[in-house]
């Protein structure tokens, strides 16, 4: 082999080796970038915005799952006090949702938007005026904000309301809600059978009960709705939590080692004190009781009755128990526990009137139940590589 041929072969060999190195380094670099990207996805903090935030039930549930709540909106001044007391790091817009604007208020885009919109207009216990009630029409403000976000709209929306929303106005109300959410750019459906019953296993709206889907013994049925943005998902396959077993004893949520405030106890010689005493003598002393107009009901399922906003209106809307010191109403702290608000995560600001505390707790969602929805939202976002 001539010297010229030898030199030519050596150059080709070096070039070949360089190409191998280049290809190898290119492949390794991309592999490392892919690993870094996957690591970023695992570590990414997803964000939440909360409408009708109340005292932060939705926010607490999503925070517990690692979400960052960027902003919230609430109108009631007392609820705002409680919210700021518990979430000072979250920007709170203290005004009606009707006055809230993506542009004017510089609302940051979020991954998840939550909204437990007013239920009085759709509840069996309310006026049933639906969208004819100004409070009922506030649902459309949610739709307005979704459209204002444009292409930056939330990837997932989670809504909550009363069970009767499905059947209100001969199901016309829920049909309107379904269509409005779809027009806003979301995958969302609420199929009903021939009898008008919800087909839960195919629906993006499901009735969940606190006592069936958590270990908290409160009989509380609420409609939860979850919609996925069509810009980020090809289908809405959200999985709602399954029914679980193993309720805690209701008395685990009560303070039974010491007497409550004296004004929470009934005078045993009063009209209502006698009614409760007579019913408790017939029933289980460890049960929870409630006065319904002129008679007393015992909850025989080892649960408490639904905690409602009416607890803050006085009268006898607060569940009642018997402890070693007499017959008394549940305290706001006990009611908060029965809504999933842990003692180390939640408290009322000093000076908050007791009636306002009861109302705020009754208006809240059960934290533990919503946290299951939050966990599924997190899994959905992660699996979609968003």
6 and 107 within one domain? no
Tell me: pLDDT of 67 over 70.
yes
Tell me: pLDDT of 297 over 80.
yes
Residues 6 or more apart whose CB falls under 8 angstroms from that of 269 comprise none
Quote the number of domains for the chain.
Answer: 3
pLDDT digits (tens, 9 = 90+) for 203-231: 999 999 999 999 999 999 999 999 999 99
* Lowest mean per-residue pLDDT among 74-83, 122-131, 176-185, 369-378: 122-131
207 and 65 within one domain? yes
Are the beta carbons of 266 and 326 closer than 8 angstroms?
yes
Predicted confidence band of residue 80 (pLDDT cuts 50, 70, 90): very high
266 and 294 within one domain? yes
105 and 163 within one domain? yes
Q: What count of other Cβ atoms lies within 10 Å of the Cβ of residue 286?
A: 14
196 and 80 within one domain? yes
Residue 197 inside a domain? The answer is: yes
Tell me: pLDDT of 41 over 70.
no
End-to-end C-alpha distance for the chain, whole angstroms: 60
Question: DSSP class of residue 164?
Answer: G
Tell me the torsion sign for CA atoms 325, 326, 331, 336. positive
pLDDT at 216: 98
Tell me: pLDDT of 234 over 60.
yes
| Tokens at 283, concatenated | 């029933």
pLDDT at 20: 41
Percent of the chain with pLDDT over 90: 70
Residue 60 inside a domain? The answer is: yes
* CA–CA dist 118, 137 (Å, integer): 9
CA nearest to 225, candidates 193, 265, 258, 181: 181
CA nearest to 373, candidates 365, 364, 385: 365
138 and 287 within one domain? no
Predicted confidence band of residue 164 (pLDDT cuts 50, 70, 90): confident
* CA–CA dist 154, 228 (Å, integer): 9
CATH number of the domain encompassing residue 324: 3.90.120
3-state SS, residue 327: strand
Predicted confidence band of residue 14 (pLDDT cuts 50, 70, 90): very low
20 and 55 within one domain? no
Tell me: pLDDT of 10 over 50.
no
86 and 207 within one domain? yes
* CA–CA dist 75, 276 (Å, integer): 37
Tell me: pLDDT of 175 over 70.
yes
pLDDT digits (tens, 9 = 90+) for 309-349: 988 776 678 999 999 999 999 999 999 999 999 999 999 99
- 343 conformational bin, left if phi > 0, alpha if psi -120 to 50, beta if neither: alpha
345 and 296 within one domain? yes
Residue 42 inside a domain? The answer is: no
Tell me: pLDDT of 55 over 90.
yes
Give the residue numbers annotated as catalytic, written as ranges: 119
Mean pLDDT of the residues in the chain: 88
Tell me the torsion sign for CA atoms 116, 120, 121, 122. positive
* Lowest mean per-residue pLDDT among 13-17, 28-32, 78-82, 233-237: 13-17
Q: Specify burial of residue 265 (Cβ count, 10 A radius: 0-12, 13-18, 19+).
A: middle
Pick the residue with more confidence: 165 or 155?
Answer: 155
32 and 57 within one domain? no
pLDDT at 352: 98
CA nearest to 136, candidates 176, 194, 187: 176
Pick the residue with more confidence: 118 or 370?
Answer: 370
Q: Which domain holds residue 280?
A: 250-361
Question: DSSP class of residue 237?
Answer: -
Q: What is the dihedral of CA 238, 50, 143, 235, to 10 degrees?
A: -20
Give me the mean pLDDT over the 44-48 stretch: 94
Percent of the chain with pLDDT over 70: 85
Residue 221 inside a domain? The answer is: yes
79 and 14 within one domain? no
CA nearest to 308, candidates 335, 288, 346, 337: 335
Q: What is the dihedral of CA 299, 300, 304, 306, to 10 degrees?
A: -60
85 and 7 within one domain? no
Calculate the CA 64 to chain-centre distance: 11
Tell me: pLDDT of 287 over 90.
yes
Are the beta carbons of 69 and 91 closer than 8 angstroms?
no
3-state SS, residue 295: strand
CATH number of the domain encompassing residue 168: 3.40.50.150
């Amino acid at each position: 082999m001539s010297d010229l041929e030898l030199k030519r072969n050596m150059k080709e060999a070096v070039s070949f080796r360089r190409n191998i190195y280049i290809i190898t380094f290119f492949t390794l670099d991309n592999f490392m970038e892919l690993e870094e990207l996957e690591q970023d996805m695992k570590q990414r903090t997803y964000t939440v915005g909360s409408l009708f935030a109340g005292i932060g039930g939705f926010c607490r549930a999503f925070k517990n799952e690692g979400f960052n709540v960027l902003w919230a909106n609430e109108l009631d001044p007392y609820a705002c006090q409680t919210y700021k007391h518990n979430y000072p790091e979250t920007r709170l817009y203290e005004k009606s949702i009707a006055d809230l604007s993506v542009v004017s208020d510089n609302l940051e885009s979020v991954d998840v938007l939550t909204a437990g919109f007013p239920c009085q207009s759709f509840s069996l216990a309310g006026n049933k005026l639906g969208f004819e009630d100004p409070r009922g029409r506030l649902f459309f403000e949610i739709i307005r904000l979704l459209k204002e976000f444009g292409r930056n709209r939330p990837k997932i929306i989670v809504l909550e309301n009363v069970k009767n929303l499905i059947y209100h106005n001969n199901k016309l109300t829920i049909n309107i809600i379904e269509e409005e959410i779809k027009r806003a750019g979301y995958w969302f459906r609420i199929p009903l059978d021939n009898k008008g019953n919800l087909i839960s296993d195919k629906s993006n709206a499901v009735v969940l009960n606190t006592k069936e889907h958590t270990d908290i013994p409160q009989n509380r049925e609420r409609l939860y709705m979850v919609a996925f943005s069509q810009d980020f998902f090809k289908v809405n396959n959200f999985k709602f939590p399954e029914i679980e077993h193993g309720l805690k004893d209701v008395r685990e949520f009560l303070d039974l080692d010491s007497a409550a405030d004296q004004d929470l106890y009934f005078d045993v010689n009063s009209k209502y004190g006698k009614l409760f005493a007579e019913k408790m003598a017939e029933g289980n002393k460890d049960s929870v009781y409630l006065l319904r107009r002129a008679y007393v009901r015992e909850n025989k399922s080892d649960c408490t009755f639904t905690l409602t906003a009416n607890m803050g209106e006085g009268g006898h809307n607060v569940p009642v128990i018997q402890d070693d010191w007499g017959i008394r109403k549940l305290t706001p702290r006990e009611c908060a526990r029965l809504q999933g608000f842990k003692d180390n995560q939640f408290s009322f600001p000093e000076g908050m009137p007791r009636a306002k505390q009861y109302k705020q707790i009754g208006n809240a969602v059960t934290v533990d139940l919503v946290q299951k929805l939050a966990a599924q939202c997190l899994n959905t976002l992660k699996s979609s590589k968003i």
